């Protein structure tokens, strides 16, 4: 079930965490190590995000990374996959 309060209002990264603010006032924090594309991205690439999925997802166009609020709330790290890191 989708809760309107779980829409994303802001996203930022610290040196070691992804921090997502939700409309209902909650803040979700997850280790960047869970998301290798974000971990190895530059600060500029990490800040180049867009709200996706009518507010329930995050997309980083330059990194080809997509995360959902549902996955973040479940505490789900990114699926293990081969990524190219230049």
Phi/psi for 63 (5° steps) reads -105, -10
pTM of the prediction? 0.86
Phi/psi for 84 (5° steps) reads -95, 120
pLDDT digits (tens, 9 = 90+) for 57-72: 999 999 999 999 999 9
Residue 76: pLDDT above 90?
no
- Which tokens hold the place of 43? 């600060």
Whole-number Cα distances in Å, 17 to 5, 30, 39, 58: 22, 5, 9, 15
Region 4-74: CATH code: 3.30.2020.40
- Which tokens hold the place of 57? 């997802």
């Amino acid at each position: 079930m989708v809760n309107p309060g779980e829409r994303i209002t802001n996203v930022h990264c610290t040196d070691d965490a992804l921090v997502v603010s939700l409309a209902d006032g909650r803040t979700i924090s997850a280790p960047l190590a869970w998301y290798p594309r974000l971990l190895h991205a530059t600060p500029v690439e990490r800040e180049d995000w867009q709200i996706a999925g009518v507010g329930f997802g995050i997309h980083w166009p330059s990194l080809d990374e997509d995360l959902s609020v549902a996955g973040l709330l479940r505490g789900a790290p990114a699926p293990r996959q081969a990524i190219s890191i230049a």
